[in-house]
Structures are given as C-alpha cells and as structure tokens.
Amino acid sequence: MTSADSTLFQQVLMQLMQKVAEDHPHHALWVIMALAHANKDDEMLQGETTGRGRSNKLSRNVQEHTEESRVEAAKLLLEKLKKNAKVSAIVKNMEFLCLAYIQLANTS
C-alpha cells in the first residue's frame, strides 16, 4: 500500500465513521469516546508508574505512535460531530458522562 493509498483509506474510514456516528450515535459514540479518552487515566494519575513492563524501546515507540494517531483521529472525529446539529447534544452529553465515569474510577 502506497502512502497515497494509505491517506485515501484514512479519509474514507473517517468519513465512514462520521456517517455511522451520525446515523447511529448511541451505538458508535461509545467506541469513539473510549478511544478519544484512552489516555485520560494517565493524565489524571500523572506521576505514578503504569507498570506496562515493555522491554523493547523501538517496539514501544512504534506502538505508542500508532496508538496516539488513533487517539488523535478519534478526538478529531468527536470535534466534527460536536459541530453537527443532528448529534451535537448527544456527543456533548455522552462525553460529559464518559469523563465523569473516568473521574469516578480514579477517585481514591
């Protein structure tokens, strides 16, 4: 797969995910929210060790870059959906709930 093919695939995938989220927000948004907020625990617990125990630094860097790209894409998709009048209220309310769940889970 060439770089152009990869870029085209990513564009088509983003459009597809946006369409699915607009048409079926109560099904699709949970997955998008989970991905967009995948690092919230680390942000809230900053300073503590995560205990992942990965030994291969190169492998870890590649995996973290891939994970970060997915997280950023999910965040971008959420921002687009927040601007869509059809699902804006649902997205905002679900995000508020998800962030509250994360905060509750990290309460000691």
In this predicted structure, what is the pLDDT of residue 66? 64
What residue type is assigned to position 20 of the chain?
A: V
Q: What DSSP designation does 49 have?
A: -
Handedness of CA 88, 93, 98, 100 (dihedral sign): positive
Query: Do the domain assignments include residue 63?
Result: no
β strands within the chain, DSSP E:
none
Query: Do the domain assignments include residue 50?
Result: no
CB 77 within 8 A of CB 18: yes
In this predicted structure, what is the pLDDT of residue 47? 47
Query: Do the domain assignments include residue 11?
Result: yes
Query: Do the domain assignments include residue 55?
Result: no
Backbone angles phi, psi at 86, to 5 degrees: -65, -35
Query: Do the domain assignments include residue 68?
Result: no
Token digits for 46?
Answer: 């900053």
pLDDT digits (tens, 9 = 90+) for 12-59: 999 999 999 999 999 999 999 999 999 988 887 774 544 444 445 555
Handedness of CA 5, 8, 12, 13 (dihedral sign): positive
Element (H, E) at 24: none
Model confidence, pTM: 0.76
In this predicted structure, what is the pLDDT of residue 58? 55
Query: Do the domain assignments include residue 73?
Result: no
pLDDT digits (tens, 9 = 90+) for 62-89: 566 667 889 999 999 999 999 999 999 9
Query: Do the domain assignments include residue 40?
Result: yes
Query: Do the domain assignments include residue 72?
Result: no
**Count: domains in the chain:** 1
In this predicted structure, what is the pLDDT of residue 16? 98
pLDDT tier, 94 (very low <50, low <70, confident <90, very high otherwise): very high
CB 36 within 8 A of CB 73: no
Residue range(s) defining the domain that contains residue 5: 1-45+79-108
In this predicted structure, what is the pLDDT of residue 100? 95
